[in-house]
């Protein structure tokens, strides 16, 4: 009996990846660009606070080589580089979770958060409330004094909530930090983004090719 073509070539299920960090300035945007390029996924930053002329979406756009990626509009583009709840107050608005709906796409989707998991969006909700049960969550961890604690708190909270969690390390290697995080979290380590002199499309593509099989 002839097999159904769908059995021979099953449709690959599209995935959504949520990129979060253990703090600010840990390399989320570069990590998001690498994952986006590796999967030729769409990219979406739900809430942008500050740097509207050179937003994270602008930065990721400059890093992407493939022609498939679609860059989706922010749900909220706030003028001040502060926690979203405070930036929204300055703009005279309140961030409403109902207004933050993931874009419809037939492609894989990479979503970049703002700051860490418990950054407030308003007086009730945090970034964590944007992460849906079916999302794969990638935590970007960078070594600094206190980063082990911040990484364990972030990963353990996500695991308690039942999320599929993995880690990307960012910056210069710090073996004792990375090894204890790996041992105590017991989650998948995708790799490390080194402290490169610069990032451009070629460097992003090199990391994308390196990380692709682990995503």
Q: Give me the active site residues, please.
A: 45
DSSP assignment of the chain:
-PPPHHHHSPPPPP-EEEEEESSSSSSHHHHHHHHHHHHT-EEE-SEEES-GGG-HHHHHHHH---S---EEPPSEEESSSS-HHHHHHHTT----GGG--PPP-SS-EEEE-SSSTT-BSSSS-BGGGG--TT-EEEEEEE-STTHHHHHHHHHHHHHHTT-EEEEEEESS--HHHHHHHHHHH--EEEEEE---S---HHHHHHHHHHHGGG-
């Amino acid at each position: 009996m002839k097999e159904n073509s769908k059995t021979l070539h099953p449709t690959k299920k599209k995935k959504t990846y949520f990129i979060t960090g253990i703090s600010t300035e840990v390399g989320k945007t570069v990590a998001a660009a690498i994952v986006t390029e590796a999967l030729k996924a769409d990219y979406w930053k739900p809430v942008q606070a500050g740097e509207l002329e050179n937003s994270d979406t602008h930065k990721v756009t400059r890093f992407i080589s493939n022609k498939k990626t679609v860059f989706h509009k922010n749900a909220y583009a706030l003028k001040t580089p502060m926690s979203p709840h405070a930036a929204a107050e300055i703009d005279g608005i309140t961030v409403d979770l109902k207004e933050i709906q993931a874009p419809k796409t037939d492609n894989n989707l990479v979503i970049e958060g703002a700051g860490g998991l418990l950054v407030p969006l308003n007086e009730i909700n945090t970034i964590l409330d944007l992460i849906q049960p079916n999302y794969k969550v990638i935590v970007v961890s960078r070594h600094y004094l206190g980063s082990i604690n911040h990484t364990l708190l972030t990963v353990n909270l996500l695991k308690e909530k039942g999320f599929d969690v993995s880690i990307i390390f960012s910056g210069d290697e710090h073996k004792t930090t990375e090894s204890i995080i790996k041992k105590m979290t017991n989650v998948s380590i995708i790799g490390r983004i080194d402290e490169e002199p610069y990032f451009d499309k070629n460097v992003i593509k090199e990391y994308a090719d390196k990380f692709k099989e682990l995503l």
